[in-house]
Structure 1
Amino acid sequence: MSTAAASSATTVRVPAGYSAGDLERWAPEEPKSEARTPFQRDRARVLHSSALRRLGAKTQVLGAGSDDFVRTRLTHSLEVAQVGRDIGAELGCDPDVVDAACLSHDLGHPPFGHNGEKVLDAIAEDFGGFEGNAQTLRLLTRLEPKVIGEERPYGLNLTRAGVDAAIKYPWARAEGPDPASPKFGAYADDLDVYTWAREGAVPGRKCFEAQVMDLADDIAYSVHDVEDAVTGGTLDLRRLRDPMERAAALYVVQDWYVPGESIAALDEALGRLEAEPWWVLDFTGGMRSAAALKDMASQLIGRFTRAVVTTTRERHGDAPLARYRGQAELPEESRLEIAVLKGLAAAYVMSSASQQPVYERQEEIIRDLYAQLWNTGTTHLSPLFAELWEAAEDDDARRRVIVDQIASYTDVTAGRLHERLFDRGATHVTAADTPLPGLGAEL
């Protein structure tokens, strides 16, 4: 595929801090109008994608649909976009690039959150593994129906800057700073578009917009998961006054997120948060209590976003920062405070003994679906994936199609299909009488 500049790069104004190459698209497109910038178009394409809509029924921490209040991957992504857009605007990068990256960052997550991701990675071990960020790249550049060429689909066909901003782990499998880490940003058969998007990049380094997206994700994730846990009744912050309870919770923080930090440093970080007048200890669910909890969430987000902007400006001054100019900075105190908040959600929700049967059932559903879809060919695939199956060159490519199909399912869809296939008998169910959402379909 030629990487010649799209014709739009010669007629559309290049935003300050960016180059004409940043505006190129993998498949060149004629400009439709000058009313919107290429980056505004990128954001609109992500916002209107079926992959983004499906996040409304995918697990964030607590299961999607388990509570009217609990966040889903969609609401989380919207919140990350708001945080990231504000940080990006203050630091001088294009806010639409950051916004689109934030909206995109979880598109590749399969049903059942990180548990589903681990199961699919184990299933795909022999043909490239599975990773949510690599799946996001695959959706943006291949699977989400928008632009189709003669040789291949091009997904949403975002600009180079837009694709690069969504790459959270800029390396292929087992090629990152820690070869044992399961995190990576591109599958082997997506390396062509990955290489195109990373043209001119510093190897192993996220572009500035991706750094902002990553920090915004951590900020929103840490604050809102605690808010959900408190509202849902699984976390009572008063319990942390008990020394043994506190030590056990901080051990989970250390084990899950900051194994190199001491318990004493984490206890100090938690103490700083508890000392703030807005820290909520007594949550009853009433109007005043709910308002106080919402204020705590707002205060925390403001605290962390100010820390990023202030620390980054102290290092780089007032110059606009974009692409490979600058490093988004988070002070050490804030890093530990964010880790503590994420760890509290892990301790009281994700690692709770009550969740283990749920995780086991989720693994059973995904493994059963993979086996059944593999053994029945196109019978239970959506038309889009059936087409990809038929075009696949070998068994590994067909296995990847099955993984792509399962990754596209929402929690509800995966559970419903499993029930139909295994409780009613697979021979009674076909693609025609199983109206389940595949890529490009509505929820």
Structure 2
Amino acid sequence: MSNQASAREAVISAPLPAEFSPRAPFAADPATSRGRLVPEPDSAPRSPWQRDRDRIVHATAFRRLEAKTQVFAALDGDHFRTRLTHTLEVSQIGRTIARALQVDEDLTEAIALAHDLGHSPFGHAGEEALDACLQGFGGFDHNLQTFRILTRLERRYGGFDGLNLTAETLEGVVKHNGPLQGDVPAPVAEWHRRQDLRLHLQPSVEAQIAALADDIAYCSHDVDDGLRAGFFRPDELRTVPLAAPVVDEVTALWPGLERGRLAGEIQRRLIDRMVRDLLAETRERLAALHPGSPDAVALADRPCVAFSPAMHEAVVQLRTFLRDRVWQHYTVNRMTRRAKQILRALFETFFEAPECLPEEWRSRAGAAGSQACAEAVRDYVAGMTDRFALDEHDRLFRIARTRP
């Protein structure tokens, strides 16, 4: 290597000065990462969690999120949230919180970007349909499907299946809803025997941030989407304690504001209120616990990242409003019913006739009606986008009409 090339490599490999990367004592430290199941050389310009983030962004499952339903079917309009845009909003909110708390932004972002990879087509309707189809074969849970994608189903690398992520990123994804208590799903338990995921401890601060950023994102953007879709009027939000002062503030500042701008101003203020409350409550909890290391967070008897009790109740009330006015709106219910019919028909056809699967999946399925067949069909159908599921349904069931 030439002197010039050596100098360039030294610059790339040099860590940032401390003043550019403040780190709280309880923040996860990439220098002490528990590493990957399959050892790999370090990537000089990136921390382990930057590398995890990059692998997630380049994953096939990540690209498919663009055409998967959040609440509104991905084909219903170009401006409603999809799983991908939801995921990006979770990531943005998570990084903001992580920076304010001086913890690792890259780990927070990696967990946020991965958290919904396992969602089936057509949102929760698709998940419910697959879960019903898979009774007797382990059911279906999108969080567990995310884990399968990250550890087995993604096939981009020569040396391993999955993405070979660090233990900290996988731990954060697995514990999206908190520590795993009681029976641990078999794929997670088997992996845990090879790579310690500290399943029964509290998630890292970074993982806790990603989980609550998810709540903040979907509560606020479903208000935005619901207003834009005309599912409710702005004045109806005044029945929701968290939203009422926001609506009053926006309408006082801009009387008669057009619907799109009004929705955007309401959403951004909802995010701001939830994030500010979360930061205040979290700082109080951290001050009381005074954790000197990430392990102190893991061993705590409750999460460190949280809303205040008053905000928690306000978010519950907002969710109730959204359930009644958006998630169970009759147009969403129609989509839900149709989506369940489509996924049930797809699953039953492939489960009873695995010879109808594409070659790669047919070789995995084995005999019709077997456990292996159920698992192969689960992974094939769950990985579909809304559009692909509709196309597969048409290919299987549409009767071609010919002129006499």
Determine if the TM-score, normalized by the shorter chain, exceeds 0.5. yes
Asked whether the 8 Å contact 2:98–2:209 carries over to 1, the reply is: yes
Query: In the alignment, does 2:114 pair up with 1:104?
Result: yes
Gap change, CA 1:338 and 1:96, over 3 Å in 2: same
Gap change, CA 1:122 and 1:294, over 3 Å in 2: same
1:240 Cα deviation after fit:
5.5
Query: In the alignment, does 2:371 pair up with 1:396?
Result: yes
1:363 Cα deviation after fit:
1.2
1:288 Cα deviation after fit:
4.7
Supply the distance in 1 between the matched residues of 2:54 and 2:30 (Cα, whole angstroms): 21
3-state SS of the aligned residue for 2:99?
A: helix
Find the counterpart in structure 2 of residue 203 from structure 1.
Answer: 200
Asked whether the 8 Å contact 2:87–2:113 carries over to 1, the reply is: yes
Higher helix share: 2
Asked whether the 8 Å contact 2:241–2:314 carries over to 1, the reply is: no
Supply the distance in 1 between the matched residues of 2:274 and 2:292 (Cα, whole angstroms): 20
1:92 Cα deviation after fit:
2.9
Deviations along 1:64-119, one digit per CA (max 9) or x if unpaired, are 12012100000000000000111122223211111011111111000111111111
Find the counterpart in structure 2 of residue 428 from structure 1.
Answer: none
Find the counterpart in structure 2 of residue 157 from structure 1.
Answer: 164
Gap change, CA 1:139 and 1:314, over 3 Å in 2: same
Which of 180, 183, 186 pairs up with 1:188? 186
3-state SS of the aligned residue for 1:275?
A: helix
Moved more, 221-230 or 372-381: 372-381
Provide the TM-score with structure 1 as the length reference: 0.75
Which of 142, 147, 150 pairs up with 1:137? 147
Which of 248, 271, 283 pairs up with 1:301? 271
Provide the TM-score with structure 2 as the length reference: 0.82
Find the counterpart in structure 2 of residue 24 from structure 1.
Answer: 35
Find the counterpart in structure 2 of residue 405 from structure 1.
Answer: 380
The list of structure 1 runs, each at least 4 consecutive aligned residues, that deviate by more than 6 angstroms after superposition, is 318-321
Pairing 1:201-240 to 2, within 5 Å after superposition = 201=198, 203=200, 205-239=202-236
Supply the distance in 2 between the matched residues of 1:100 and 1:323 (Cα, whole angstroms): 20
Query: In the alignment, does 2:351 pair up with 1:374?
Result: yes
Find the counterpart in structure 2 of residue 91 from structure 1.
Answer: 101
Asked whether the 8 Å contact 1:93–1:322 carries over to 2, the reply is: no
1:272 Cα deviation after fit:
4.8
1:62 Cα deviation after fit:
1.1
Moved more, 270-279 or 295-304: 270-279
Supply the distance in 2 between the matched residues of 1:93 and 1:197 (Cα, whole angstroms): 23
Asked whether the 8 Å contact 1:92–1:319 carries over to 2, the reply is: no
Report sequence identity in percent: 33
Deviations along 1:370-426, one digit per CA (max 9) or x if unpaired, are 11112332532363x345336x9x92122111101100001111111101101148x
Query: In the alignment, does 2:286 pair up with 1:316?
Result: yes
Supply the distance in 2 between the matched residues of 1:71 and 1:205 (Cα, whole angstroms): 31
Q: Count residues in correspondence.
A: 368
Asked whether the 8 Å contact 1:381–1:405 carries over to 2, the reply is: no
Supply the distance in 1 between the matched residues of 2:211 and 2:194 (Cα, whole angstroms): 21
3-state SS of the aligned residue for 1:271?
A: coil
Which of 121, 130, 134 pairs up with 1:120? 130
3-state SS of the aligned residue for 1:158?
A: coil
Asked whether the 8 Å contact 1:80–1:220 carries over to 2, the reply is: yes
Which of 40, 43, 55 pairs up with 1:45? 55
Gap change, CA 1:112 and 1:194, over 3 Å in 2: farther
Supply the distance in 2 between the matched residues of 1:69 and 1:360 (Cα, whole angstroms): 23
Find the counterpart in structure 2 of residue 334 from structure 1.
Answer: 311
